[in-house]
Amino acid sequence: MELIFTWIENYKDILINQNLNFSYKFKINYNSEKNELLINDNRSFIADFFSLEKDSKIHISNITAIIGENGAGKTTTLEYISNCLTEGLSGLGKTNNIAIFYKVNVLRIYCQKEINIINKSEKCSYELNKIINNRISKHTVEELQDISFIYFSNIFDGKREYQNNLEYDNRNFKSISTNQLIYQDYEDFKNPNYEKENASQDNSELVSGTHPVIAHNKYEFKRQIFYFINKYDNYCDIKYPEEVVITVKEININSIFPKSKRNINNRNYNTLKTVNEFFDEYRNNIKENKQPLIKIIFYKSIFFNFINNILESTLFSSLFGNVNFIINDKLSPIKNIESFFKKITKEIPGIDEKTGIRKMIKNNIEFIKLFERLVNKADTRIFGNIIYFNTNVEKLEILKNFIDKYLETYPKLDFFEFSWRDLSSGEKAILNLYSRFYEIINKKVNKPTLKVSDSIIIMIDEGDIYLHPQWQKMFIKNILKFLTNLFESKFKNIDIQLIITSHSPIVLSDLPSDCVIFLSKNENDEIIQSNLDDFRQTFASNIYSLYQDSFFVKGGLIGDFSKEQIDGLLRILSNEDFINSSEERNNEIKNRIKIIGEPIIRNKLLTLFNEKINLDMVSIYKRLDNLEKSRNK
């Protein structure tokens, strides 16, 4: 099944009366005034145009690019597909729209009203499936539900796509957008035993305080680890990073007690303040103590992270005799922290009933041991509070386990940061894209929620947004290669349809014009479909020529600031008083002209400047001549 066409009557008062063609095979238009659907074959269609290997088990049926400026409705179009076309019957029944899918030479048309259909196609017949009271044939429902939809976006704008897991899990749809994964990663972290019917809730009292962004960042990094461990080089050209950078950040008393809650008359606060000062004093004598700085920061942070987790618990008030043990014992605070966790497990009344807290204490002890093993490895490089960790496969497995154990300490405040050394922001953006798709196929990190079917519609929202123009130029080819190799590693005979959005003209040079939807806004701020000037072809078109098109750049091809500066120079040179300017002022104006990159504009302004200077010189010579004549009389 392939999505061919949809007509949108009104979606959120943004997309109104829109005909959207998602296929290279046909040209379809619905006239709402005549209630008439016209179907034509695309005479320019080339079969298997986007399949890189003709004998591949993975067939790329089509790529559609939705191109437009900010606010033109690109993301809203993908949102419409996600909300209204991914749920089969229940999605199509939400709105009075038209959707057309293609399967085995038949166009399957879904709508809620009678329409006049004019089929001029010589390639296929059509089948009208009218939805009445959310009912159509069982066979048709099954066909609609047998399409997998995947949505990717690297953009975070705080938008919550789905409010609960039930709404999310019951769909033939998987969102791997940053907006969704922040919450999905958090939910998977809270309920790690998702394969069991009753997920463990032992940690529910504590983990609710862990910020979703912390869980997401660490899950994102785990997805990338799995991607690098497993044949990453078959899928892309990102260089294998040689090291992981692990930064240990400090949590202290000021991190967990804002100024408004720092009560100097509170015994608990004062005790914790004493512990904080004890760590600081120990750090000031670091040479004498012969302990690396990173250990002092780590033990201080893990202690205050634990305190932060139990502040609202009844355990908090029972704790303080044991907190004093940290500063009263003659050993260093580093050696005392692990003893502190063991001590409170045995001595505090009622801790057996607090299963979540007992588990957290156990996790802290295990994480301390793991940290010590990590920093004491002979090949671990440490500078200040930073660990440089080699990235062979064995080490990456250790790192994955380390991240898991870190998250089990329930960090409300993030005190460990993981990053790849020497990866640019563009490489990280591509790595996010590839590792999230890899996770869908291999199910290593997240709860599996998508059954991959024989037909997949993949939506990528501005996947090229963080990329250098050279990488944007390679984007279409690389994503085709990546998706083909990825799905071919696990599946046979899959059809993939790709719908992407972008505001850049660079990707257009890899797509025929019939595969592009141009969205813009008219003078009334209404979204309309446009075309390039002179309806030019886009495939293999010169990228610079595409940039010149008025669809992309209105009001010329130079920046507004430089245009304003040039206009200012023209006003100065047109002013009659210019000839009275000082030499310093003239030099400044000439220097402004000389930095203009466009040679025609620069030379024209220099000509005007020189003409003014020459007129000024003529005026000077005239005055000198008149003065000489008057003196000779």
Averaged in consecutive runs of 10 residues, what is the pLDDT profile of the chain (633 residues)?
92 91 91 94 88 81 88 89 74 76 90 90 87 60 78 83 52 86 83 43 42 86 86 66 89 81 68 84 71 87 88 70 63 74 70 67 90 84 88 81 89 89 86 91 73 89 86 89 88 90 84 87 78 64 61 63 82 74 81 84 82 60 59 61
Task: Compute the half-sphere exposure of residue 410: CA atoms within 13 Å on the CB side of its CA.
Answer: 23
Q: What is the DSSP secondary-structure string of 88-121?
A: THHHHTTSS-EEEEEETTEEEEEESS--EEEE--
Q: Is residue 526 part of a domain?
A: no
Rounded Cα distance, 503 and 524, in Å: 21
125 close to 139: Cβ distance less than 8 angstroms: no
What domain count does the chain have? 2
Q: Is residue 35 part of a domain?
A: no
Return all residues near 552 (Cβ < 8 A) that are at least 6 apart: 505, 546
Last residue of a domain, one of 401, 420, 439: 420
Q: Is residue 592 part of a domain?
A: yes
Q: Is residue 216 part of a domain?
A: no
Q: Is residue 543 part of a domain?
A: no
482 close to 488: Cβ distance less than 8 angstroms: no
Q: Which helix (H) or strand (E) holds 459?
A: strand 455-461
409 close to 364: Cβ distance less than 8 angstroms: yes
225 close to 402: Cβ distance less than 8 angstroms: no
Could you tell me the sign of the dihedral formed by the alpha carbons of 205, 210, 216, 219, in that order?
negative
Q: What is the pLDDT of residue 34?
A: 94
Q: Is residue 273 part of a domain?
A: yes
For residue 528, give the DSSP letter: E
Q: Is residue 38 part of a domain?
A: no
Last residue of a domain, one of 399, 420, 441: 420
Q: What is the pLDDT of residue 5?
A: 94
Nearest to 509 by CA among 546, 534, 483: 546
Q: What is the pLDDT of residue 203?
A: 39
- Which domain range does residue 388 map to? 243-420
Residues paired with 106 in a beta bridge: 103, 125
Rounded Cα distance, 165 and 186, in Å: 11
Q: Is residue 54 part of a domain?
A: no
Nearest to 504 by CA among 554, 543, 557, 531: 543
Rounded Cα distance, 501 and 459, in Å: 8
Helix (H, G, I), strand (E, B) or coil at 491: coil
Last residue of a domain, one of 365, 399, 420: 420
First and final C-alpha spacing in the chain: 103
pLDDT digits (tens, 9 = 90+) for 107-162: 999 888 889 999 999 889 998 887 766 666 545 666 777 789 999 999 887 776 65
